[in-house]
Amino acid sequence: MYRYIALPHTDGANGGDVAVIDRLRQAGLDNAQALASHTVIVAPGTPLLHIRPNAVLVGHVFWRSSGTPVGDSGCFENVEFERLVNRLIEECWGEYILLHDGDGGALSALRDPSGGAGCYYSCEGGFVTSDISLAIRAGIHGGSIDWDFISETLAYPHLKTGRTGLSGVQELLPGRVLNILDRRAATAESWTPWDFVAAHQRYRHPRDAQEDVRQVVSSAVRTWAETDRTLLLELSGGLDSSIVAACLLEADSEVNCCNLVTPVPGADERRYAGLMSDLLGFEIHVRSLRIEDAEFEFPPPSHAAVPSTWFLQHASNRLKETIGRQLDVNSYFSGGGGDTVFGYTKTAAPAADAFRERGFRAGIRTIRDLAELHQCTVWKVARLAARKLRGPPKPPRKPDHSFLRHAIDLDASTLHPWFDAPAGALSGDRERIFDLAGNQGFRDGAARGGRRHLRMPLLSQPVMEACLKVPSWMWFTGGRNRAIARDAFVDLLPPDILYRRSKGTFMNYSGAVYRHNRRRLRDYLLAGELSGRGFLDTDALHAFFNQNPDTQGDAFMRIFDLCEVENWVRHQARTQH
C-alpha cells in the first residue's frame, strides 16, 4: 500500500509542524519532501518523485508508449498544472497521486483513474492522505463519526460517493482533481469512462478488439509483476484470474498462487485453478474457509474511512495474508473487476444496444446469443430487449430500506460522478459503467492491501479504456459471455476454462455461516450501536431471525451488510474514547 500525507506548513518553518511530523515518523513515515507551502511525507517503499519544485508524484507511474517507469522529472518542467494533469492522463498510467503546491497556499491533487492509491482529504485540516489513520495518529483529525453518512450507506451499501464515515473527511474519487484553498475544496473530472463509449471510439470489428484487449491486459499484468518481482496470485479458477495467470507466464517475476475452498458446495474451484497452475508451472496453495471461523466483530482496515469489510472478506484476507507472509511476497494479484471490464452484464441490454447501433440483424443475432447463454427462449430475451428500447432508463442504484427504521431516497444520479449518464447513452453502457463505479470499493475491504500491494491489473486505466471501447453486444457471441476476452487468449487457456459457463460462488458458504450464527448475529445487531441510535427496525429484525432460514433465499445477505456497518461503527467509536 502507498502511505503518504501532505500537510500545510503551520509553524513558519519549511517543513511543517515539527510535533506533527515527529508523530508521523513514529507511524512509519520517514521520507519528507518540502514544497513551498506544504510538506509531503511517505513511508518506506512508497515511491516519491519530485517532478518539479512545486509538485510530486506518489506511487508508480508508467509511460504508455514504452511501459517504463516515469523517472525523468525534467519532462514535466514548465508545464502548467492543467496541462500536467492532461499529460499524465493521456500519456501515462499506473497507481499514483499527483500533489501540486499552488498559488496562495493552495494544494491540488490528481488521483489516477484506477484508484490504486488512496486519497482522503480535509478542508479544515488542509491535508491529503492515503490513510486516514495517519491523520488521526498525527493529531490533526479527531476521527468522529458522520452519522448522516451512516444513514446513507445503510440504504446505499457498497458504493463510493466521495463522502466518508468520518466528519470533515472526504474521498477524492478516481480520475478526479482536487483543489483546496482557504479551507474550501473543489473537485473536477479529469477522466471519465463515458469518453470511451462514444461512437467514434467504438471498435467496429471483433478482431481489432481482441488484439487491443490482449495487448493492454498482457502489458498491465507484466508491468505490475516485474515491478513487484514476487507475488501471490489469487487464482479462483474462473476466466478472469486465469487470464491474469496466463499473462504472468511472460513476466520476469516469482509467482505463487492461492485458492480458497469451503466445506459446502459451490466454491470448490480447485480443479479449474489446478488446470491453470499446472499448465503454467506455478505452485498453488489451497486453504479452507471453515464455517466456525467466521467473525463479525474484528478491526476494520485502518486505511478505510467507510464501512467496507464483511465477514467473508475478513476471513479470506486472513488466509491470504498468512500465505503472503510465509512466502514473503511483495504483492497480491487479483482478477477483481474482470466481470465488469469484460462486459459480463446479465440483462438484455446488449441486444437493445445492438439494435440501436447496428440494426435489426445484429439485434436478432445478439438475442439468439443471449438466449443460448441464459438457456431461455428468444422470445423472452426479445421482450426484455424491447423494454430496454422503449422504456425509461433505470436509475443507477435503488435504496435498500429493509430493516431500516427510516427510508432515505436520494437522487441516484448525484451519488457518483459516473452515474450522470449523457443523453442518449446506451443501456449496456449505462449498466457496465454503473458497475465500474461499484468496483471502486473493492480495495477498501482488502486489509491485506494495507501491508502489501494489492494489484488489480484488469482495473488498470489502459485496460478499462480498451474494454469500454468494445460495444456491449460484442462481448456476447456464440452463446458465450466475455467472448472478446476468451477469443483474445484462446491459445493460452485450457479448454475447460475457455469454454466454461458456470461460475463459483460463496453463496452456500455464506448461508451456512448465517444459519450457524443466527442467534449471535441477532444479538450483535439488536444490542449494537445502530439499533441504539435508532437506525434499525428492530421489530422487522426480530421477525426475520424467527423465520426458518431455509425459506429466506439469499435475504440473509442484507444481515451481513448491516453487520459490516455495525462493526465499523463500533471500532470507530472506540477510537474516540
Q: What is the mean pLDDT of residues 274-296?
A: 94
How distant, in Å, are the alpha carbons of 241, 265, 335, 482 from that of 339? 10, 22, 9, 8
With respect to residue 133, please indicate whether it lies within any of the assigned structural domains. yes
Q: Which long-range contacts (CB under 8 A, 24 or more apart) does 551-558 make?
A: 554/507, 554/511, 555/402, 556/510, 556/511, 556/514, 557/510, 558/400, 558/402, 558/403
125 and 201, same domain (yes or no): no
At which of 461, 476, 498 does a domain end? 498
Residue 129 burial (CB count, 10 A): 30
362 and 252, same domain (yes or no): no
pLDDT of residue 440: 92
Q: Which residues pair with 5 in a beta bridge?
A: 41, 129
pLDDT of residue 79: 82
126 and 39, same domain (yes or no): yes
Half-sphere exposure of 89 (CA within 13 A, CB side): 21
pLDDT of residue 502: 82
187 and 82, same domain (yes or no): yes
Tell how far CA 275 is from the center of its chain. Answer: 28
Phi, psi (degrees; rounded to nearest 5) at 282: -95, 140
13 pLDDT band, cuts 50/70/90, is: very low
pLDDT of residue 14: 44
All three cell numbers of 159: 458504493
Domain extent at residue 394 = 348-437
Beta-strand runs (E) in 87-212: 92-101, 107-111, 120-122, 127-129, 170-171, 176-181, 184-189
pLDDT of residue 78: 77
pLDDT 10s digits, 39-98: 999 999 999 999 988 999 999 999 999 999 998 666 787 788 999 999 999 999 999 999
pLDDT of residue 87: 95
418 and 461, same domain (yes or no): no
54 and 159, same domain (yes or no): yes
Q: What is the mean pLDDT of residues 512-537?
A: 97
pLDDT of residue 103: 87
pTM here is: 0.95
Q: What is the mean pLDDT of residues 390-395?
A: 91
Q: What is the mean pLDDT of residues 520-529?
A: 97
Count of domains for the chain: 3
576 pLDDT band, cuts 50/70/90, is: low
11 against 12, higher pLDDT: 11
pLDDT 10s digits, 174-186: 999 999 999 999 9
At which of 127, 160, 191 does a domain end? 191
At which of 140, 158, 191 does a domain end? 191
157 and 254, same domain (yes or no): no
With respect to residue 214, please indicate whether it lies within any of the assigned structural domains. yes
Q: How far apart are CA 314 and CA 307, in angstroms?
A: 12
pLDDT over 90 at 552, yes or no:
no
Q: Decide: residue 539, CB within 10 A, 0-12 exposed, 13-18 middle, 19+ buried.
A: exposed
Q: What is the mean pLDDT of residues 97-115?
A: 95
pLDDT of residue 73: 61
With respect to residue 296, please indicate whether it lies within any of the assigned structural domains. no
223 and 363, same domain (yes or no): no
Q: How far apart are CA 97 and CA 483, in angstroms?
A: 34
357 pLDDT band, cuts 50/70/90, is: very high
Render 30-58 in DSSP notation, one character per residue.
-EEEE-SSEEEEE-TT--EEEEETTEEEE
Residue 479 burial (CB count, 10 A): 15
16 pLDDT band, cuts 50/70/90, is: low
